[in-house]
Structures are given as structure tokens and as C-alpha cells.
Amino acid sequence: MLPTSAAVALVVTATGATVAESSSALTFDLTGQQTALARTEQAADEATTTDLAQRRQASAMQTAALAGRVEAKQRAARSAARKAAAEAAARAKAEREGKRWVKAIRTGTLTSGFGPRWGKTHDGLDIGAPTGTPIYAMSKGTVILSANVFSFGNKVEIRYWDGTVSWYGHMSRRDVAVGDTVMPGDQVGLVGNTGHSFGSHLHLEIHPTGGDNPINPAPWLKRHNIMVG
Ligand SMILES: [Zn+2]
């Protein structure tokens, strides 16, 4: 279906047709090489692109991993800070709780005050209460004596955080031992009638400096807002 003139030209130049053919083949071949080259370049480009993409992805993953580690560290730091704050708050609360003052006995009647009595000094307050009435530590402290001693009967001495020492006497039962740490309101024993006592009561003494130098407990107890009886 070649045009007539073209058909004529092919017929006229028979050798030329070979040239044209080989030229065409060369052209084809060149084109093939170019195509191959182009494919190679394209492949190389694709490879480069792929490589770049992979590197970018790897880099992004590394960045993400790094960011993840940083976040994890920050989370851990925040968690540690929260924990430390909570512990500090708990310590502060325990400190406040420990420094509270509470009544040595919740019920009872003042039957004898501090001062001269029967020709000698009565060194504390007597709070009349039924045997078995609970007796409490007035604040945070350490038990420095828990024993049945002459005259006092069952006696408990507590040295509080501020250095004050309280003596409780005539107890029917002691619930603490020497060295025990007590908190405000901890039960340390029960009211009784042991030792030199005429009737069930708590004998309470206050020694502000810890030595055997009792003061009138009433003003001290009132100052601490824990007067009894
Ligand atoms: Zn007494």
C-alpha cells in the first residue's frame, strides 16, 4: 500500500534499499541501544529513587525511634517526678500527722490535780475511768519504758518528737514495748488500778525536758488543746 512514487524509488535504487535497510537496522540498533541505555538509566534512576526512598524511610524510622526513645525518657522522667512529688507529699502528710497532738484518754473525770497531796507532791493528773478504758499516745514518739514498777504499777513512758516525755501509770494492761514507735492516737494500754492506787484511774505526768522534773500537766495539755478529764 505504498504510494506509487515511493514504490518507484525502492525499485530504482535496489542497492540503496540495502543501505536504507542497514541504515534502518543501524537506526533500529541505535534505538535499541538507546532504549537499553535509557532503560538502564531509568533503572538506575529507579534504583536511586528506591534507594533514596529506602534511606529516607530508614532515616524516618531512626528519627521516629529516636523520638520514641526521647518520648519514653520524657515519660519516665515525668513519671519519676510525679512519684517523687507523691512521696514528698506523703512524707509531708506523715510529718504533719506525726506532729498532731491527741488526748491521752477520751473519757474520764479529773479526780486529782497536780500539787501537794497527803504531805507530798502529786506529780500529775488523775483521770478516773473504768478499768479497760483505752489510753493513747498523744503524738508521734518512742516508747522508752514499759514495765510494772513500784508505786506506778503498769507504767508506760513515751518520748515525743519534741522531746516531751509522758508517764502513764496504774494501767491494767500495757500494749507497747520499749523501742516501739507510736503515732498520735495509737493505743498503748488500758486504764487500771495497779501499783499504789485506790480506784481505777490514769495517772498522767508531763516531763517537758525528759528528765524527772514534772510540770503541772493541765496548762501544757490545754496549750496543746488536748486537756483531759
Ligand atoms: Zn496520780
User: Please, which residues have CB less than 5 A from ligand 1, an ion?
Assistant: 126, 203
Same domain, 121 and 206: yes
Element (H, E) at 136: strand 134-136
What are φ and ψ of residue 226, in 5° steps? -135, 35
Is the separation of the CB atoms in 110 and 229 below 8 Å?
A: yes
Residue 204 Cα to ligand 1 middle (Å): 7
Same domain, 81 and 154: no
Q: Tell me, what's the pLDDT at 19?
A: 46
Residues 6 or more apart whose Cβ sits within 8 Å of residue 166:
104, 138, 157, 158, 160, 204, 205, 206, 207
Q: Tell me, what's the pLDDT at 117?
A: 83
Residue 161 Cα to ligand 1 middle (Å): 25
Q: Tell me, what's the pLDDT at 216?
A: 97
Residue 2 Cα to ligand 1 middle (Å): 141
Query: How many independent structural domains does the chain possess?
Result: 2
Residue 88 Cα to ligand 1 middle (Å): 42
Is the separation of the CB atoms in 191 and 203 below 8 Å?
A: no
Q: Tell me, what's the pLDDT at 52?
A: 84
Could you state, in chain order, the average pLDDT of each consecutive group of 10 residues for the chain (229 residues)?
A: 46 45 52 72 76 86 90 94 95 91 97 89 96 98 97 98 98 98 98 96 96 95 97
What are φ and ψ of residue 202, in 5° steps? -100, 125
Q: What is the DSSP letter of 215?
A: B
Residues 6 or more apart whose Cβ sits within 8 Å of residue 197:
153, 169, 170, 203
Give dist(CA 154, CA 5) in Å, integer.
141
Residue 195 Cα to ligand 1 middle (Å): 11
Same domain, 93 and 164: no
Q: Tell me, what's the pLDDT at 196?
A: 94
Residue 210 Cα to ligand 1 middle (Å): 18
Last residue within a domain, chosen from 98, 133, 150: 98
